[in-house]
Structure 1
Amino acid sequence: MAAEPAEPIGLVFPGQGTQRQGMGEPWRSTPAWAVVPEISRCTGEDIEELVLRAPAERLRRTDLAQLAIFTVSVLALLEARRLGLTEGAVACAGHSLGEYTALVAAGALSTSDAAVLVAARGRAMREAAEERSGTMAVLVGAGHDEVAELVREVRESGHPLWVANINAPGQVVISGSEEGVEQAGAESPRIGAKLIRVAVGGAFHSPFMAPAADRLREVLDRTPFSAGQLPVVANVDAEPHSGRDDWPTLSTRQLTSPVLWERGVRTLTGPLGCRRLVELGAGRTLSGMIRRIAPEVEAVSLDSPQAMVPGGSRAAAAPRAAGVTR
């Protein structure tokens, strides 16, 4: 009798904000740990020190935070593959920085090439933020249209402000000047929203990052992208792209454009047919968003080796072991 085909799954990878001190410790005894020296060689950073011993204050630095998160996501990906938990994957996506791990998972980038890009991206974003300071905040409780109108009004009043991430129903991130975010916070009650500040090093996914986009494009143009085996749903248009598509342009645009995460999840669960989305990396942020976007789809968070149960993709559905959110 033929084996039952694996249920279609999507692999998703978190972005900046999930970093924490000692985040690599759970993975230290896994076979996947062998990739850590490779990432260190490619980037010129002591990755082992970064993910095991770096204090929380050091991990707030944009470039180092991104390298730490990327490394842990790759560790999770490699371990999940070894245990057969990525069987049935038909597509990938990543939130902001996580898009680079998604390209590795899809076969469009090698781990070493992606690590070089992540290091360059983090440096470029940090430098751009030093040249023009800014900040970000989450508006909770209002729809995208209401937030977009509020942001437009604030910007027209003279304070730079843009929509940065459309994460889930009732959760939109804004980005821009300190004065713009402050004004949006003061006016947010009239659209039924609450503003929550985000501890970040700059106004990411806004025109403030234009210098970073220019610097990163130079590195992207030298990077070889392969055809890949799986499509990656891009942040900038929420559409699936192969490795043959123009990822240097998509990745450059991502720095100054909104992350369309809600739409991207709907692409994964709609046209691409994913019935389970597996989050690989630190934390369970994306699983929480997915539960709000597509409650009919299973969201699995594999954020530690302990969450990974051998036995194929169906093992990832065990609620106690894998942190299922419903």
Structure 2
Amino acid sequence: MDVKSAGILFPGQGAQGVGMGRWLCETYTIAKDLFAEAGEVLGYDLADLCQNGPPEKLDATEFCQPALFTVGVAAARVLASEHPERIDNISATAGLSLGEYTAVCFAGGLEFADGLKLVQRRGEAMQSASDAVRSGMASVIGMDLEKLQELCDEVRQGDEVLRPANLLCPGNIAVSGHLTAIERLQPAAVAAGAMKVVPLSVAGAFHTSLMAPAVELLEQALTEIPLRDTRIPVYSNVDAAPHQSADEIRQLLSRQVTQPVMWEASIRRMIADGIEGFLEAGTGRVLRGTLKRIQRKIPTDGFGDQ
């Protein structure tokens, strides 16, 4: 990308797939070594899980989060070591949900091993909260936020939780809540004009109050694991604003699991602040897809799975 100032983006849960990281490990020793280090930290063979599955295990939150974190860091380290010209102009970073931890690591706020332990504990806490109630997420395609919020309010019953949770881009918003409410929302959304409603491969109702039981465990982990001020701004999912203070980032990460992901607002803020192009590092093309819906002409690139 021939731009003066670029942002690097890291995907979150839902981008995973069996085979991720294989090309990086087969092509670059630095990636293979990082996966070996991850296996020692986690106590299981992460490279084998990423490359061979089984998919139901890789999709489980407690395994998926460390896996995506490691693939993202591996891609960034390969770029820094083997293709520095592709990231010399990186001046800001962001990540979608779990990807925000990868962004903080890239920006120098976390050591890899510390970040891996943190996301492992985050994944375990969120999996435990998810196991306590039948809940999940679904992408609603082709509906604006105001109408979707109205529909959530209409179909929700009793003390059910249902809310827009991932505000990805125009026409693509993920809702999160009790499965019973999501099941009622699906036909209602299509009848109201949505193109389709797609269930997501996540364990529970992330970014809602149903994740509250995970917050205390996450806050404890964030207190115990060292965070530093970052060398470049990290745009937070919570407020779509840039942050470099370790104390601010720690507080925002603890709030993130129960708050909506302000992804579209984050990208628009980054562009307003001078970012002229974006690089997606890790697995998949989900984030580049959202970028084209937010700002069609913005230059994009990717590095990770081939």
TM beyond 0.5 = yes
Specify the alignment match of 2:218 in structure 1: 216
Moved over 6 A (4+): none
Higher deviation after alignment, 53-62 or 83-92: 53-62
Does the Cα contact within 8 Å between 2:3 and 2:277 map onto a contact in 1?
no
Whole-Å separation in 2 of the counterparts to 1:53 and 1:192: 39
**1:301 alignment partner, SS class:** strand
C-alpha displacement at 1:188, in angstroms? 1.1
- Deviation sequence 1:122-148 (CA, Å, 0-9, x none): 111111111122011111111111111
C-alpha displacement at 1:30, in angstroms? 0.4
- Residue in structure 1 matching 2:8, options 8, 11, 15: 11
User: After superposition, where does 1:1-326 map in structure 2 within 5 Å?
Assistant: 7-28=4-25, 29-33=27-31, 34-82=33-81, 83-84=83-84, 85-155=86-156, 158-193=159-194, 194-271=196-273, 273-304=274-305
C-alpha displacement at 1:167, in angstroms? 0.4
- Deviation sequence 1:92-122 (CA, Å, 0-9, x none): 0000110011001111111111101110011
Unmatched 5+ stretches in structure 2: none
Whole-Å separation in 2 of the counterparts to 1:36 and 1:270: 36
C-alpha displacement at 1:158, in angstroms? 4.8
- Which residue identity lines up with residue 24 of structure 2 in the other structure? W
Whole-Å separation in 1 of the counterparts to 2:132 and 2:159: 20
Does the Cα contact within 8 Å between 2:161 and 2:210 map onto a contact in 1?
no
Whole-Å separation in 1 of the counterparts to 2:41 and 2:243: 26
Whole-Å separation in 1 of the counterparts to 2:95 and 2:103: 6
**1:174 alignment partner, SS class:** strand
TM-score (norm. length: structure 2): 0.93
Whole-Å separation in 2 of the counterparts to 1:220 and 1:97: 14
- Deviation sequence 1:188-211 (CA, Å, 0-9, x none): 135321322223211111111111
Does the Cα contact within 8 Å between 1:235 and 1:259 map onto a contact in 2?
yes
- Which residue identity lines up with residue 293 of structure 1 in the other structure? I
Aligned pairs, how many? 300
- Which residue identity lines up with residue 100 of structure 1 in the other structure? Y
C-alpha displacement at 1:215, in angstroms? 1.1
Does the Cα contact within 8 Å between 2:24 and 2:304 map onto a contact in 1?
no
TM-score (norm. length: structure 1): 0.88
Whole-Å separation in 2 of the counterparts to 1:129 and 1:190: 29
Whole-Å separation in 2 of the counterparts to 1:14 and 1:140: 19
- Deviation sequence 1:240-296 (CA, Å, 0-9, x none): 01033422221111111111100011111112x111100000011100100110112
Whole-Å separation in 1 of the counterparts to 2:302 and 2:112: 22
- Which residue identity lines up with residue 274 of structure 1 in the other structure? I
- Which residue identity lines up with residue 53 of structure 2 in the other structure? A
CA RMSD of aligned residues (A): 1.7
Unmatched 5+ stretches in structure 1: 307-326
**2:143 alignment partner, SS class:** coil
